[in-house]
Amino acid sequence: MKSTFDTLIKHKLLLVKNFPFFSTYSFNEFHAPHLNGGSPVDLGMVLLFLDELGADANNPKMAKLLSVTELTCKNWIKKLKTECLCDIEWINSAKTGKRFVVTSNGIFNTELYDQFRPFVKLVIHYWREKQTDECKRYEGTFSK
């Protein structure tokens, strides 16, 4: 069942990646686009990933998902706050831990970026599945 689900996700991701908008992007092993934050579109996508990551919205996890350094994530968030007028708060909750929460999208039109939300959710889901598989494989080496 797991492999069928993996195959379904991969096929959906391939369909989206063939969309003309994504033709200028390359993708990492989690099918996330390589973003550089140099354009408003890239920053909007970063904001979308940050918003959708939920409890995983912190620099180490976002860096792993997007195949960048933690410093790059910090710089993107700083740029989103200062240049794009986004309200991004750092919270420390007993339930969800330390993470970023997007409270305002600033200059970004949410109607435009909501078109990419299903793709971002799919990428995050695939990434989480791969992280879970990796943890299970790692735990298996110690249980023998």
Q: What band does 1 get if pLDDT is binned at 50, 70 and 90?
A: very low
**What are the start-end ranges of the E strands in 1-137?**
87-93, 97-104
Give tens-digit pLDDT for 42-94: 999 999 999 999 889 999 999 999 999 999 999 999 999 999 999 999 998 88
78/143 Cα distance (integer angstroms): 43
Out of 1.10.10.10, 3.40.250.10, 1.20.20.10, 3.40.50.2300, select the CATH number for domain 2-134.
1.10.10.10
Q: What is the DSSP letter of 33?
A: B
Q: Which amino acid, residue 12?
A: K
Is the pTM of the predicted complex or chain greater than 0.85? no
